[in-house]
Structure 1
């Protein structure tokens, strides 16, 4: 993937790289011949087992108040990349990834916006003998049919809140599709790492955390609950894009708060870290 025209860090601001891209909300490409990619990273140890390549797709229907990459919301801000170009680039990393028990993680944005492109890329990765992971909010989980999920070894599922009002305030959408997707993954026995972003004053209410913990604990397919502390690393993007960043004065959670939340998950019977 060493192509400098799209080898950008997720932390680099990208805007209007593909001004003629389709509208994100109505996008539907049944072939997946091209995709819009924000960036990619190599050597990740945080987005699935082993050492991984992580591809960040453009396009998302959520508007998380704490999003650190608002420049992934629209397809037009990504780089247009053919599937063959992406597959060939991934193939260059396949041998070392296999040697390090790693693989491919597709994140975003929201990968399920670009359903057919990401499905083809996952299938290509499987053909190379790579472990595959889907990092998703689950909001568009109904789009991923069983054939799509057969190409995915692990789902990194962001459950951003339990309380419906808090969820809508935090991301601007309904929580039900995410919970329904989680239940479907449990029924399929698909391995899942649940991710929860801990934002002081927004998602940290004990009842909110307890709701997620009680929901997740009985699911034997959930291998980990990962508590991700809120940070301000994306604030500069909101400012550069002229967006109203409501959390500019929100601090990162204290170690004591992180520990309290971890213990809530553990006390409910979850493996949490």
Structure 2
């Protein structure tokens, strides 16, 4: 196995919301999407003075120290940025996690560099961030076409990978009964979906734009009350295949 250094933004050791159970979350650097509501613009670039470079072996040795806390359900989640952009490092790290008996999860928008089988064969669960279910809507939200994410999804479906679907609900952009009905119908076309999560828009990352000198695309849009989404989330989950 060749050693590839990963570029890591940060590591959260005891997370409870990024997959089942207690998890370590590894945030990898780099993302090609420019989602209007992105709260981590500091993860976009592959370069920067605060990025940690680490081999997969060193990373997994560090993560293994938390194995007693993972229990039967927990494990490691690779997030970002977009973890698929660091394909070789990610594959190596996932393979080492599996060899160590650690449950692996991938938190992704599916926007990588193609050829995902080597990654997915070491992945137990995918948290798939669906930006939008129409081509036009996807481009409006992200500034990119959905082609790469659809290729990733096709591979995951063909390999029978369990999915948790995530969708950020933004007032005026990805909200409203008509939109959420369409989302429900789209999720209904997918297989191996275990649950769906509607994530309410928040403004916790706005200060990062100011620090980086980047205009914030959704200036003035108010955060969404999570309670407004609870009925829709229940409805969508009740209609999973």
Partner of 1:216: 187
TM-score using structure 1 length:
0.80
Higher mean displacement: 228-237 or 135-144: 135-144
CA 1:85–1:187: 2 relative to 1, 3 Å = closer
Answer whether contact 2:116 2:152 (CA < 8 A) is retained: no
SS of the aligned residue for 2:18 comes to coil
What displacement does 1:225 show?
Answer: 0.7
SS of the aligned residue for 2:141 comes to helix
Partner of 2:108: 136
CA 1:260–1:51: 2 relative to 1, 3 Å = closer
Higher mean displacement: 229-238 or 72-81: 72-81
Q: CA RMSD in A?
A: 2.1
What displacement does 1:256 show?
Answer: 6.0
1:44-86 CA distance string (max 9 Å, x none): 1111111100000000110111111100001113222233321
How many Å separate the matches in 2 of 1:124 and 1:214? 37
How many Å separate the matches in 1 of 2:226 and 2:12? 28
| 2:224 counterpart (250, 253, 258) | 253
Higher mean displacement: 149-158 or 40-49: 40-49
How many Å separate the matches in 2 of 1:255 and 1:117? 36
Answer whether contact 2:57 2:96 (CA < 8 A) is retained: no
Partner of 2:158: 187
What displacement does 1:264 show?
Answer: 5.5
SS of the aligned residue for 1:181 comes to helix
What displacement does 1:263 show?
Answer: 5.5
CA 1:100–1:266: 2 relative to 1, 3 Å = closer
Partner of 2:53: 80
How many Å separate the matches in 2 of 1:261 and 1:253? 14
1:120-152 CA distance string (max 9 Å, x none): 11111111111100011012273312x321100
Partner of 1:95: 68
Residues 67-216 of structure 1 aligned to structure 2 (within 5 Å): 67-77=38-48, 78-97=51-70, 99=71, 101-140=73-112, 142-145=114-117, 147-216=118-187
SS of the aligned residue for 2:204 comes to coil
TM-score using structure 2 length:
0.90
Instruction: Note the residue ranges of structure 1 that are not aligned, 5 or more in a row.
Output: 1-29
